[in-house]
Structure 1
């Protein structure tokens, strides 16, 4: 009996290999690509494919670093469902670290997002970004839900968040409660992210249901920021506020001018390059 020699798979000329980096900031993970050449054009559909946990690289979002005329670069972020949010706190920290590792920027940089310019400061494994000043959309908002009701605080820290305080975040049925609030008629048509906050003596514990991911993430930078701001407003916490998530710890710094005027808001925490690879986009 004879056997034919094993041959390698012939390369399909239609296949396009994309170099990517997998980054994570307190468990919030992203696929990051340098798109200054414009190689990625169908951004929404690439995000849907590459963010798949089983058939793609797997991530909470796709980050694209693109050219900018008024900053060091422009950040585009796409959720796993292909939608494009205005801002992502942990994503911004990750892309700043990516740009630094690639030699695109130094230890300080600024970049464009849909919510405005963001400044970043890289110190080895730690990245600190200046967030937009929060705007309050609706304080003490009561929502009627299917089985009961809840009261919380709706604000914008780059993207909309509904923050509510709970006795124990670990006991929240987030898979049921999160979507019910996220899609509530009060927040239509855009919807909202939802943050469940437990206040401890010297820190906060936060869990977030993220719009666009449509699930709980291990950490959400804009959600952590929103939670710290509301905790200062309601619980009189002072800056910096330590926030603990399932993915790690973050700090939120701010200056409070009066009851509801917060300025110079910074989000700080660890960012890590997990690995680099090539993605066959076929």
Structure 2
């Protein structure tokens, strides 16, 4: 049986496994994740995080979305794995770990975790994509993974799943596709956000990289300033800190709470 922790980061839920002994081989992580992330049939989660040894950092992670595809980055997953590593004695309260998007630093303070994310890249406002009903503006930025950010008229009533799926598979972003965030800018320090996540292929209760993307494009339009609170679909707030130099954004921190839901052991029937 494989031991695991179930954790949540502001509504994104994850299965975390200490894989330093190689219990799950890398070439089996995709199929393993697809099976254990099935809701109602197995544990159920937005993704799986495997913690492995690293020669240069405190540890290395593999983050896989529920569809079994490995992603470069997941902001809320990064916060959860930092607390997991601290609680398991793998790293101290301050740590740096290896990801496909580059090294990520984190600080753990109880349930609150703050992570220094890769600097956003590829920022482009008013991208060339067919506008859909209710859209006010549409921008793009990569915050470790690609995000299209759409400012809409009525966020609560907006058809996020329908339009999010269309944006996710738009030929402009092929072959990898993109995440889609729909936002309402409430004030200069508060954004409301709903996200359609690539790899989960549905709306999720939160998205850390999406919260960063939303804050960055809103700042690029001079509508918010650091720090920015981003209210997620699940009702929790993430806080984004950054330094802005023209259209460049540096020292981007993502802060929010984490929850340890339970610890368990996977029976072979879950797979």
TM-score of the aligned structures, taking structure 2 as reference length = 0.94
SS in 1 for 2:95: strand
For residues 254 and 87 of structure 2, the distance between their equivalents in structure 1, rounded to whole angstroms, comes to 20
Deviation at 1:65, TM superposition (A): 0.5
Q: Which runs of 5+ in 1 are unaligned?
A: 1-16
**Residue of 139, 142, 149 corresponding to 1:153:** 139
Deviation at 1:169, TM superposition (A): 1.3
The structure with the largest alpha-carbon Rg is 1
Q: Alpha carbons of 1:29 and 1:199: their partners in 2 closer, same or farther (altered >3 Å)? A: same
SS in 2 for 1:170: coil
Deviation at 1:26, TM superposition (A): 0.4
**Residue of 35, 40, 49 corresponding to 1:54:** 40
For residues 242 and 95 of structure 1, the distance between their equivalents in structure 2, rounded to whole angstroms, comes to 22
Deviation at 1:145, TM superposition (A): 6.3
Q: Alpha carbons of 1:152 and 1:145: their partners in 2 closer, same or farther (altered >3 Å)? A: closer
User: 2:18 aligns to what?
Assistant: 34
Q: Alpha carbons of 1:37 and 1:21: their partners in 2 closer, same or farther (altered >3 Å)? A: same
For residues 35 and 198 of structure 2, the distance between their equivalents in structure 1, rounded to whole angstroms, comes to 18
Q: Work out whether residues 142 and 150 of structure 1, in 8 Å CA contact, stay in contact via their aligned partners in 2.
A: no
Residues 124-173 of structure 1: CA distance to partner in whole angstroms, max 9, x if unpaired?
A: 11000001110125321131268898741111000000001012211110
User: 2:240 aligns to what?
Assistant: 252
Residues 216-246 of structure 1: CA distance to partner in whole angstroms, max 9, x if unpaired?
A: 1100000000000111111431110001012
Q: How many residues align?
A: 265
In the TM superposition, what are the counterparts of 1:173-252 in structure 2 within 5 Å? 173-201=159-187, 202-247=189-234, 248-252=236-240
User: 2:259 aligns to what?
Assistant: 272
TM-score of the aligned structures, taking structure 1 as reference length = 0.91
User: 1:6 aligns to what?
Assistant: none
For residues 259 and 119 of structure 2, the distance between their equivalents in structure 1, rounded to whole angstroms, comes to 26
Q: Once superposed, which parts of structure 1, at least 4 consecutive aligned residues long, lie more than 6 Å away?
A: 145-150
SS in 1 for 2:251: strand
